[in-house]
Amino acid sequence: MKNFRFLLEYDGSRYYGWQRQPEKNTIQGKLEHVLQLMCGKETEVIGAGRTDAGVHAKGMVANAWLETEMSCVEIRDYMNRYLPEDIAVREVKEASPRFHARYNATGKTYRYTCQEGAVKSVFDRKYCLRLEERPELARMQRAAELLKGEHDFKNFCINPRMKKSTVRHVDKIQITREGEYLYFTFHGNGFLQNMVRIMVGVLLEAGYGRITPEEIEEALKASARQKAGPTAPAAGLCLIEVDYH
């Protein structure tokens, strides 16, 4: 048995997220099915995180223990041959026995994409949020400064029964415009369920002048749970990279 590390990308449009679920299309389920075919036995694939339904990835990292004589290139090619077209294995490497894709991750980068222009993009519609209004960039950038740093993000999480710590450190929020596209890039040591999408929703509302800086600060400091702001749709979100020491 050897521990293998995988670099993956996928279009999450038709999947119920990463995590295996009975009778549902999931990324983990598809990967485990192909590896079971390859090795002749059930195999668990451990992902660096659990992306939600409809969320995409360009740099998801996973690992699995396999009993095989195939080389890393042969494993990659076998998986890509039998995986659906919207999931791809970019790279396979043999990892140390101690490597764990989730527990060893030290940070993640997510990007959220919006499209603003007068005419909608037909081909990008599954990968961005179409905006009917143009938010003010300077307002969003000022609001983003309030979200940076270490905070208790419990009001930026969709799971009200979260038992583990909801404190996270977000060290980068970059908001840029390129032509008709608006990009939000987030880097932190970890993100709660729907946290990035809620932050995007809050920042857009700030850009429209519907949420004040004081309301954002209150959402971060409130002892009781409250809704921080709207949750942006899943389609615009993509996991770009996972960090490891």
Question: Which residues are known to be catalytic?
Answer: 52
How do 237-244 and 56-66 pair as beta strands? parallel
The one-letter amino acid code at 232 reads A
Which structure tokens are listed for 214? 């004081």
Are the beta carbons of 155 and 225 closer than 8 angstroms?
A: yes
Report the alpha-carbon angle 93-96-100, nearest 5: 90
Quickly tell me which residue has 């949020």 as its tokens.
129
What are the CA-CA distances from residue 119 to residues 62, 115, 137, 181, 242 (Å)? Answer: 38, 9, 20, 12, 34
In Å, the largest CA–CA distance within the chain is 59
Are the beta carbons of 30 and 84 closer than 8 angstroms?
A: yes
CA atoms of 70 and 156, how far apart (whole Å): 44
CA atoms of 79 and 83, how far apart (whole Å): 6
Dihedral sign (CA 146, 148, 153, 157): positive
What's the start-to-end Cα distance of the chain, in Å?
24
